[in-house]
A and B are shown apart, each in its own frame.
Chain A
Amino acid sequence: MKLTLKIWRQKSAGTQGKFIKYEIDNISEDTSFLEMLDQLNVELEEKGEEPVHFDHDCREGICGTCSLYINGHPHGPHQTTTCQLHMRSFKDGDTITIEPWRAKAFPIIKDLVVDRSAFDRIIQSGGYISVNTGGTPDANEIPIPKDVASEAMDAASCIGCGACVAACKNASAMLFVSAKVAHLGKLPQGEVERHARVQRMVAQMDEEGFGACTNTGACAAECPKEISLTNIALMNRHYFNASFSH
């Protein structure tokens, strides 16, 4: 198929960016979205132009690196990662607009590449269980009900891609933070620190410049890993309780 691409090009963090239009032909339906961009990049390089920079690594929907805002949706039209999007989701002759994540806390580095280290700093502030290596009890010592373990697993499936932030008009990071709070808070091992954890993570989230949550649910609607809004409710409960236990 033949497509028109409108892609955000920006040389570096400090420079002005703008949309540039490209035409591309001979794209097969089985091609993934990123492979389509690979093809564009080969053509650009052959012409001596700089390729479009975008983040990606595993191309399997698990590393959370890919991060394109496609036709007004983070990761495009389906609830999946950009790398798992295939060209069969588009039609011959379509125009596709491709932008980076837009959020104050995710500054643009170049073209479609943004800096998401704010997420790492939120985890560093408290997104863990404080155990050192060694000296842990036998893994089967504390039985965990199957449904609790699988709820924790669902929350732990977050890939840290940032689509939730990109989807939110306030650029809030609540879905991401709540997924970690819920994952650890649901498990007996993580329950111990749940109050301190949520307070520290929320404080860091605010410091990074993410916006407030106004419960529109845009995040969960776009999250490729179907992280549920119930995590946000749970996090609010933890946060509320934590304020009282102090």
Chain B
Amino acid sequence: MILDSKTPDGPIAEKWTRHKFGMKLVNPANKRKYDVIVVGTGLAGASAAASLAELGYNVKAFCFQDSPRRAHSIAAQGGINAAKNYQNDGDSVFRLFYDTVKGGDYRSREANVYRLAEVSTNIIDQCVAQGVPFAREYGGLLDNRSFGGAQVSRTFYAKGQTGQQLLLGAYSALSRQVNTGKVKLYPRTEMLDVVIVDGKARGIVARNLITGVIDSHSAHAVLLCTGGYGNVFYLSTNAMGSNATAAWRAHKKGALFANPCYTQIHPTCIPVSGEHQSKLTLMSESLRNDGRVWVPKSKEQAEKIRTGEIKAGSIAEEDRDYYLENRYPAFGNLVPRDVASRNAKDVCDDGRGVGPTGLAVYLDFADAIQRDGRDTIEAKYGNLFDIYEKITGENPYNVPMKIYPAVHYTMGGLWVDYNLMTTVPGLYALGEANFSDHGANRLGASALMQGLADGYFVIPYAIGDYLATMPYDKVSTDHEAFREARDKVDNDIKKLLNINGSKPVDHFHKKLGKVMWDYCGMARNADGLKKAKKLVQEIRDEFWSDLKLTGGYDELNMSLEKASRLVDFLELGELMIDDASLRDESCGGHFRSEHQTDEGEAKRDDEHFAFVAAWEYKGEGKPEVMYKEDLVFENVKLTQRSYK
């Protein structure tokens, strides 16, 4: 298979404009003859569904939550980037493009990233028009903050609830289209397969989570906006329900999966407190604007802190190691996420971690409070400090926060071309579900930007180009392909219910998560990965022989939902390991300990690995086959990333 990215010709700044002009259009009166399925109602899905309905397409929108407003995008805290240059500090479309390609450690497709930077400014206009209450300055204009990996202030925010406000904006646009009748909503409904007819995506099979009924939906195109797969690790900052099922099942139907091993570990999360832990809570990276990261210089003092003999406050200034500021004077506490995370791991591995488990570092606001006053800090971070206190019982105004890295985002995802189409014609992937814009590491505040760029400003054009070539005829859900897909889904569910083993789902998920975290997490190496592959296979075998499910088929059965998602995580986990083994270099969030610079930084091998690894499913038990999309850099010079 040759992967054609369909990147348009011409200078980078003109590609999108030219491409838009070159694309076929569907006449306004004919749009109502096409049906589009949008799976997912997060930023990507809600914005796409609303925009397509406004254009006149008939849209069906699906989510597994009880309301589209509860998609996981709601939890994003920090902000959204846009190259508005309102601060007059030297920002531009080109700089946002450049920062994103560099931040991604030169493993993303230039043309996509440029387009993202280009439409970023429209996103802010759109959101403000919808009533998104972004933070403002006294003069009434929009305020900005800076975020990791950038030296300009280009991040727009709404308190510490940016994702919530952006999603509520998109949800309101979606709701308006539900009201006009152009969108039909299917909440508490989980897509379990894509249906392909004559080589094209023509619908989905989904389970009504309340009744258990398995239904088919036919359409002319299917959009997967189903988010990321960070929950493969069991513990992550993702919502409990976030899962890989839609993307993975599409993969098994022919959509290539790109760079599965690229995982982002976020540096500022609340550390794990015990076995009972079900998820990890992110403390927005924006905290690194004012908080200073440190650990004690000596292991002895760290040990005393861990046992509770002394407190952070009793460590003298000269005995503290502000390791990010010391190692990276130019970026200091604002180095990109992968760098910050790895450094936290290093100091903890060195025996200088704090907290009862030793797996934590301090994020200290004492200096900022002294400098700016408590009120200023409260205005900026009040709600984050509250969350922290609720969870840990400690007050960050008085004692430094404790943080540790946690799985947060997956850069890998379904391979898509410039039009966001997967390798299955008519099947698109938007938002975190695709692999396209962040390379091997995503910069803060750019996932929200990408989700909305894809949904509001890219897919409305791209889909027309495809649909214009499609006949209006609908495929009946009695078609054999639909019947087969329904039967398969039905069988799979019955199979799970009939294992009759002895252990509940979480037992297996926790085990998988631990293997993935230990061997395919912040640092990886060939031996560990080999071991992990075997372990994952063992867990999978154990799962299929010893899972215990209660409850029935035709009712709300949340354990069954979890089990069905875990089936896919268990398969995807293995592919992540294969991908991590194949990529015998370090880049961004993928850190192979065999490949580091003398200073412990990720060492890329551009000669051999400047490509996207896209995997093809070959059938049960068969190894997947990898295809390369070579990455060509014409506008950004590949350099060793340096944040010194």
Contact = CB atoms under 8 A, between A and B. Distances in A.
Interface of A: 11-12, 28, 30-32, 34-36, 38-39, 41-42, 44-46, 48-51, 53, 55-65, 80, 84, 86, 88, 109-110, 113, 115-117, 119-120, 123-134, 136-140, 142-146, 149-150, 152-153, 156-157, 159-160, 183-184, 187, 189-190
B175 A57 contact: no
A130 B54 contact: no
B67 A189 contact: no
Contact of A30 (B138, B172, B239, B274): B274
B139 interface: yes
Interface string B133-165: 111111111100000000000000011010011
Given A61-B387, A80-B390, A28 B276 contact: yes
B178 A190 contact: no
A146 B504 contact: no
Contacts of B240: 56-59
Contacts of A48: 548, 550
The A interface, classified by DSSP as helix, strand, loop or mixed, is loop
Top 3 A-B residue pairs of the complex, sorted by shortest distance between their CB atoms: A143-B140, A128-B172, A136-B129
Nearest to A113: B556
Contact of B159 (A110, A138, A153): A153
25 contacts: A28-B274, A38-B278, A45-B504, A45-B550, A46-B504, A51-B558, A58-B74, A60-B75, A60-B387, A62-B164, A80-B390, A116-B67, A123-B69, A124-B176, A124-B179, A129-B131, A131-B129, A131-B130, A133-B456, A144-B136, A144-B140, A156-B133, A160-B69, A187-B133, A189-B131
Interface stretch (B6-14, B103-111, B119-127, B571-579): B119-127
B76 to A, nearest CB: 9
B476 interface: no
B382 to A, nearest CB: 12
Contact of B65 (A57, A125, A134, A153): A57
Contacts of A65: 65-66, 70
A45 B501 CA distance: 11
B551 interface: yes
B210 interface: yes
A53 B66 contact: no
Nearest to A149: B136
Contacts of B506: 38, 42
A35 B175 CA distance: 33
Contacts of A130: 176
A106 B51 CA distance: 30
A26 B165 CA distance: 39
A58 B161 contact: no
Interface string B352-394: 0000000000000000000000000000000000010011010
Contacts of A64: 67, 69-70, 74
B131 A190 contact: yes
Given A45-B504, A59-B279, A123-B175, A129 B130 contact: yes
Contacts, number: 228
Contacts of A53: 556, 558
Contacts of B588: none
B277 interface: yes
A133 B65 contact: no
B168 A156 contact: yes
Contacts of A143: 136, 139-141
Contacts of B549: 45
Contact of A57 (B72, B187, B556): B72
Contacts of B176: 124, 128, 130
A215 to B, nearest CB: 27
Contacts of B136: 143-146, 149-150
Contact of B278 (A59, A80, A149): A59
A132 B129 CA distance: 9
B92 interface: no
Interface string B65-97: 111111010110000000010100000000000
B40 to A, nearest CB: 14
B348 interface: no
Given A62-B74, A120-B175, A160 B278 contact: no
A160 B187 CA distance: 15
Interface in B30-73: 47, 50-51, 54, 65-70, 72
Contacts of B68: 120
A79 B586 CA distance: 46
Contact of B161 (A62, A117, A149): A62
A146 B138 CA distance: 5
Given A63-B239, A65-B66, A35 B390 contact: no
B492 interface: no
B281 interface: yes
Contact of A145 (B69, B140, B504): B140
A58 B65 CA distance: 11
B74 A45 contact: no
B135 A31 contact: no
A63 B67 CA distance: 10
A64 B161 CA distance: 13
Nearest to A38: B278
A128 B140 contact: no
A35 to B, nearest CB: 5
A189 B125 CA distance: 12
Nearest to B143: A146
Contacts of B51: 132-133
B537 interface: no
Contacts of A36: 276
A184 B131 contact: yes
Contacts of B168: 156
B498 interface: no
Given A59-B240, A62-B74, A133 B172 contact: no
A62 B69 CA distance: 11
A116 to B, nearest CB: 6
A60 B51 CA distance: 29
